[in-house]
Amino acid sequence: MTPLAWEITKVLSANRDGSHTTQYQRRMILIRFAKDLKALGHRGLRLNGLGNRHVSNVVRFWKQQNLTDATIMNRLSALRWLGPKIDKPNLGYDSNQVFRLSGRTPPTVNKASTLTVAVTQHISDPHVRCGLKLQAAFGLRREEAMKLRPTWADRGTKLTLKGSWTKGGRPREIPINTPYQRGVLEEAKRIAGSGSMIPAHKTYKQHLQRKVDIES
């Protein structure tokens, strides 16, 4: 881990804003940002030396990777969250226009897909990675995504949740309307088999406390 990535993890640990999913997503983006800076030659950079010239360099790098404007803007949002936490309120600037980003996701692109692909592609644990996709695709709570038994829950045109999986113990059904939802559900079925999204060798509590590893 680079010095910058290590300092970022300290900031994240001290500022647990938002839901578990939001915290996961933010961590993935910011650690990815630090690794991309390292790839660009900024190996010894620390937070006190971080500035918008570094952000601009990484945004150019992301554009070279053909990332969508929506993905880049999502990553910039995480950097703008970081700025005030390290006394750099202008980090990432106030407007996406500085980076010539369009500001819109094309209507043919599923927004859940855009967001989730951006933040999960570097998560090494398949259960955690797919769990985040399930949360985004179906609006599930974290506990629901973990306890879900996708093979049992798949009823063709709807996802059926048992009361034992949901807050308040009330069963419910969620329509399966998009190809993205179907794709995520099929991925979950391959990972979980006939079981839940909790790995067979772990308890619910152990998986809940699982730290996320990020691939290079």
Q: What is the mean pLDDT of each run of 10 residues along the chain (216 residues)?
A: 93 88 87 94 94 95 88 91 94 88 54 53 80 88 92 94 90 88 93 93 80 48
Query: What's the pLDDT at 214?
Result: 45
Query: What's the pLDDT at 101?
Result: 87
Query: What's the pLDDT at 165?
Result: 93
| Whether 7 and 95 share a structural domain | yes
| Whether 69 and 8 share a structural domain | yes
Residue 213 falls inside a structural domain: no
Residue 157 falls inside a structural domain: yes
| Whether 7 and 90 share a structural domain | yes
Helices 69-85, 20-39: inter-axial angle, 10-degree rounding: 100
Domain count, the chain: 2
| Whether 132 and 81 share a structural domain | no
Residue 171 falls inside a structural domain: yes
3-state secondary structure of 29: helix
User: Which domain, by its residues, includes 184?
Assistant: 123-208
| Whether 129 and 201 share a structural domain | yes
Q: Is 167 exposed, middle or buried (0-12, 13-18, 19+ CB in 10 A)?
A: exposed
Residue 56 falls inside a structural domain: yes
Token digits of residue 31? 């650690």
Q: What is the DSSP letter of 212?
A: P
| Whether 17 and 94 share a structural domain | yes
* Tokens 């973990």 found at: 146
pTM: 0.55
The whole-angstrom separation of Cα 140 and Cα 87 is 35
Residue 83 falls inside a structural domain: yes
Query: What's the pLDDT at 103?
Result: 55
Residue 214 falls inside a structural domain: no
Residue 111 falls inside a structural domain: no
Query: What's the pLDDT at 107?
Result: 42
| Whether 94 and 131 share a structural domain | no
| Whether 32 and 95 share a structural domain | yes
Q: Could you tell me where the beta strands, DSSP code E, fall in the chain?
A: 158-161, 172-175
Looking at 65, 99, 133, the residue that finishes a domain is 99
Residue 27 falls inside a structural domain: yes
Backbone angles phi, psi at 120, to 5 degrees: -110, -10
